[in-house]
Structure 1
């Protein structure tokens, strides 16, 4: 009966029963150095179920990338002509031969078509298997690894193999070598109960020539509110349409729940016209949004209150994705769900109509993410950008360091086996297809000292940074931080926004919150307002932002408030300095919504610009 079942399964696959060719030995596909801070505890339970994600090659990704840059480049005739979901999927689809060879391999291990699921483009195959079968398929041994600092556990291996004939047909298999512990930014509650009285309430406004009306309330140097952000970023008086199709979203992970009662309190306090407003909650992979006040998440409440408060009445969505460490291997749970982020990416790529702007305040040290995995996730962001989605990510709260907010305790040791000191950028902010947002504080704005910034060790510098980033590097004294960073890497952050002293309601009480976790939803809110203005003008959404914002930064510096004071210490150094132009602390600076709105509501094609004294027609 077993042979008959396998034969019928093969017919369903559309091929004969084909096991791996005789004599086709396994060959190592990927190996990583055991990561610092993780200890091998015990062999993984043989019956423990893991969900293998098999990534098939995307042979036409370079073509997708070409489309992405053409539709995102304001100087190109195709600017704004975003691709459809179906067009993107056609460009990333694997060769039929790859699909067939992988199917045959799975079939040779007794797995039927009913056991697996595929992404719409068929570039990912997912299948749940017990550890004992995964070890046989990958010629490896899984172990339970324990993170010494947090106590979190993962079932992982440091090396796996595939039959030689599969190597050209499989990019990666995970979870195998991925030790990333995707986490929220380190928001910190500065005060409990309620914010203290602000003694400068009657003080004269702060003069700021780029702010709305040229001034900002004095209280904004003590407490950041929606009013402060609208004043500071020149957005007073603009109300977006709620009916033009524009939408904004924020993501939530790791048991971070957005409390609706807190959202009401926030609006009553800061935005009375939105007193009865709410937001959609979309569950991903069984994600919950517990409304017990004791379970209200600081990160989730911060994100929804400021992103959705800035953009009211734009329709808003909170994506809550299941999966939260620590995994307890002794419980033999049905699956190891420490990797919720890929579940959200799968979900949003399948959504035919995602929000045009999405903010995320979660990341991990880039060096904990295998290069193959980082590249595939980054490719997923490119797909969203090509479809017209703008993605913002917090740049990090450890300066140039490893995420620890105390520069004095950062180890900043490389994970490549050399154990040398290196600056530690974060991923996904280091992906060149997203917009990384650093942080500022006070008015006039200065760089906040925890603002994450630096240079990727995985991704090369993209072309859109080839003018402004080398200018910054040229200002560094010879030998500055030599060997500590990759000067040819993708530079972060791209932009910045206020990142401290945000008044947030959590569990029914008011707190002041800090972190670039505040900067990302703030900048995303400004982007969503720009999208609303464009859509109401009959123009497409902005989509992938970076080619546009770097072009604007080079041509019209008034569109961003240049931050020239401050630095981001870490790894036993003072970090980089904020300086004129782009810098590795605040990027291009903070947004001037009024000026940006004037720019982005123009039809760029056919527009005449004066660049360096030369007239240029787009």
Structure 2
């Protein structure tokens, strides 16, 4: 997983006054103002309008995702989803009239019309918002952001506009680390083809996963099945690396499947293979072999890039049935920008309502969300984001093929400080907290959305990267595996004339635990803290457990 470093800020939203609704923030001390932004430099701003009926969207999502509902699997159409999130006409008019008064013309930036985008000089942005855009440097990362400490929205516009981004939100874009995740050069004997039964004692290749989790080796056959894999930070996978990977670890497949690459926000579409994208593609194509796979390369590594990808997908008539993402943020980045965090969540709720299963890695630093090179100076546990969103499936990590799996000690997990616990996980999480007692008291929010939801092997994945085999660790590895599991289950359901699984959390928490391997040993320590111990049932280290494909198949075919 790739995350920016720790960030928090204070925010005050003042009531409507002389200049309208004013929002003022005090950024964390690591953000140092450098100088006023150049007046002629361009800013791209996204204006987010309130949806017509977001509660209705959430209710509809749960209705089609709950196996006890008569509407289970009856996913919504594109038009039905858009009707829930589209802004009211008077909101569109109020905002566009305000912009027109300033000779600014917006472009619609989302299929439902709830986001408008403008490109204007800093000088015009300062006049429009009574702002003072400034260049700030984040001393932790070295990155610079153009932000303002205050914006004002006129009285007549304020009820029709949720927020404008980026203005007062100090959210650091994704920042690559070198390497992006833990990698080591395998010993020379690992660079040659060996039987999976030998290599699985120390490493992970597709055959190890097939044997341990009972995955089918036969290629999938449903023509309307699909997986989407998201990539940021100029990450790219290559067919050359995939060919050699299949030659070494999938010799049963005579022709290496191809994958597509689609650019969003100017994302790269070619180049030498890089670590994260190679891992994600090789363990989707290499596990869910035969399922059409697309790598979505996103050029914007900030929060807007994540939402732009979802909006791109929502604009399609046919969505990928599974979306796997091995990137994320610290949830604390969104303190003071909770509206922005909710926009993320609602975007994934739209995908789920249309039948897409969304997977995110839970993080690679145990109970602390920031990266391996952190100073570990936090005083409370730090959840990751978007794993804390209740409308997606968060994936942790385990290790060990010889006997029962144990927690991979880096597996991210904990409790949200922004989102409350959804009903579907209330019973199992309450049971865990009762058993936990006073352990870690005061270090986490006992009422927050708990994560991860599930887990899978996450240590020593053999990956072909730019002509060399490497070993990769992380929930970055376990996440595409779970995405592949659901793609294979979808294949069986589609061939049986059934709907794809879509948002799977209500199913997993209500009926799925018996079809998973419960992980009961280990904990997800971080920064010297003991973290959360694994226990029988759900826990914040491995969720409900790892997949048993045969049992999951019996479950989903019976629905």
Q: TM-score, structure 2 length as denominator?
A: 0.92
Contact 2:280 2:476 (8 Å CA) reproduced: yes
Matched, 1:465 2:445: no
For residues 489 and 22 of structure 2, the distance between their equivalents in structure 1, rounded to whole angstroms, comes to 45
Secondary structure at the residue paired with 1:278? coil
Write out per-residue CA displacement over residues 177-219 of structure 1, whole angstroms, 9 at most, x where no aligned residue: 33223437975353327654599x89xxxxxxxxxxxxx9353
**How do 1:200-349 and structure 2 match up within 5 A?**
217=197, 219-241=199-221, 243-272=222-251, 273=253, 275-291=255-271, 293=272, 296-324=273-301, 339-349=304-314
- Report how many aligned residue pairs link the two structures: 536
Write out per-residue CA displacement over residues 402-443 of structure 1, whole angstroms, 9 at most, x where no aligned residue: 322368x3122xxxxxxxx22111111111001000001112
Q: How far apart are 1:571 and its partner, in Å? A: 4.5
For residues 274 and 516 of structure 1, the distance between their equivalents in structure 2, rounded to whole angstroms, comes to 30
Residues 187, 598 of structure 1: alpha-carbon distance in 2 compared, 3 angstrom cutoff = farther
Q: How far apart are 1:25 and its partner, in Å? A: 3.5
For residues 479 and 120 of structure 2, the distance between their equivalents in structure 1, rounded to whole angstroms, comes to 38
Write out per-residue CA displacement over residues 563-604 of structure 1, whole angstroms, 9 at most, x where no aligned residue: 1111111244211011110000000000111100001011x3
Residue 139 (structure 1) aligns with: 130
Q: 1:510 aligns with which of 457, 466, 469?
A: 469
Residue 613 (structure 1) aligns with: none
Residue 514 (structure 2) aligns with: 558
In terms of Rg, which structure is larger? 1
Write out per-residue CA displacement over residues 151-187 of structure 1, whole angstroms, 9 at most, x where no aligned residue: 1111112332211222211111101133223437975
Secondary structure at the residue paired with 1:551? helix
Contact 1:198 1:219 (8 Å CA) reproduced: no
For residues 577 and 187 of structure 1, the distance between their equivalents in structure 2, rounded to whole angstroms, comes to 27
For residues 276 and 580 of structure 1, the distance between their equivalents in structure 2, rounded to whole angstroms, comes to 40
Q: 2:380 aligns with which of 422, 432, 447?
A: 422
Matched, 1:76 2:69: yes
Contact 2:186 2:471 (8 Å CA) reproduced: no
Contact 1:194 1:511 (8 Å CA) reproduced: no
Secondary structure at the residue paired with 2:184? coil
Q: 2:331 aligns with which of 342, 349, 366?
A: 366
Residue 100 (structure 1) aligns with: 93
Residue 152 (structure 1) aligns with: 143
Moved more, 347-356 or 378-387: 347-356
For residues 164 and 387 of structure 1, the distance between their equivalents in structure 2, rounded to whole angstroms, comes to 36
For residues 509 and 350 of structure 1, the distance between their equivalents in structure 2, rounded to whole angstroms, comes to 38
Matched, 1:357 2:317: no
Residue 35 (structure 1) aligns with: 28
CA RMSD in angstroms comes to 2.1
Residue 3 (structure 2) aligns with: none
For residues 347 and 526 of structure 2, the distance between their equivalents in structure 1, rounded to whole angstroms, comes to 31
Secondary structure at the residue paired with 1:98? helix
Residue 167 (structure 2) aligns with: 176
Contact 2:490 2:500 (8 Å CA) reproduced: yes
Residues 589, 31 of structure 1: alpha-carbon distance in 2 compared, 3 angstrom cutoff = farther
Q: How far apart are 1:46 and its partner, in Å? A: 1.2
> Structure 2: 5+ residue runs without aligned partners?
1-15
Q: How far apart are 1:386 and its partner, in Å? A: 0.2
Write out per-residue CA displacement over residues 230-289 of structure 1, whole angstroms, 9 at most, x where no aligned residue: 111111455321x43000110011111112211111111111315432101111122112
Q: 1:497 aligns with which of 456, 460, 465?
A: 456
Secondary structure at the residue paired with 1:311? coil
Q: How far apart are 1:43 and its partner, in Å? A: 1.3
Matched, 1:582 2:541: no
Q: TM-score, structure 1 length as denominator?
A: 0.83
Secondary structure at the residue paired with 1:362? coil
Q: 1:48 aligns with which of 23, 41, 46?
A: 41
Residues 36, 569 of structure 1: alpha-carbon distance in 2 compared, 3 angstrom cutoff = farther
Contact 1:144 1:154 (8 Å CA) reproduced: yes
Residues 197, 377 of structure 1: alpha-carbon distance in 2 compared, 3 angstrom cutoff = closer
Write out per-residue CA displacement over residues 50-104 of structure 1, whole angstroms, 9 at most, x where no aligned residue: 1111110013111111110000000100000000011100111111111111011
Write out per-residue CA displacement over residues 310-342 of structure 1, whole angstroms, 9 at most, x where no aligned residue: 111111101011135xxxxxxxxxxxx784222
Residues 188, 571 of structure 1: alpha-carbon distance in 2 compared, 3 angstrom cutoff = closer
For residues 349 and 546 of structure 1, the distance between their equivalents in structure 2, rounded to whole angstroms, comes to 21
Secondary structure at the residue paired with 1:221? coil
Write out per-residue CA displacement over residues 327-362 of structure 1, whole angstroms, 9 at most, x where no aligned residue: xxxxxxxxxx78422221221121211110010001
For residues 30 and 583 of structure 1, the distance between their equivalents in structure 2, rounded to whole angstroms, comes to 39
Contact 1:85 1:352 (8 Å CA) reproduced: yes
Secondary structure at the residue paired with 1:347? helix
> Structure 1: 5+ residue runs without aligned partners?
1-22, 203-215, 325-336, 413-420, 605-618
Contact 2:27 2:170 (8 Å CA) reproduced: no
Contact 1:187 1:517 (8 Å CA) reproduced: no
Q: 1:595 aligns with which of 540, 545, 551?
A: 551
Secondary structure at the residue paired with 1:433? coil
Matched, 1:476 2:441: no
Residues 511, 237 of structure 1: alpha-carbon distance in 2 compared, 3 angstrom cutoff = closer
Residue 366 (structure 2) aligns with: 399
Secondary structure at the residue paired with 1:310? coil
Secondary structure at the residue paired with 1:487? coil
Residues 98, 244 of structure 1: alpha-carbon distance in 2 compared, 3 angstrom cutoff = same
Residues 106, 512 of structure 1: alpha-carbon distance in 2 compared, 3 angstrom cutoff = same
Contact 2:21 2:158 (8 Å CA) reproduced: no
Residue 4 (structure 2) aligns with: none
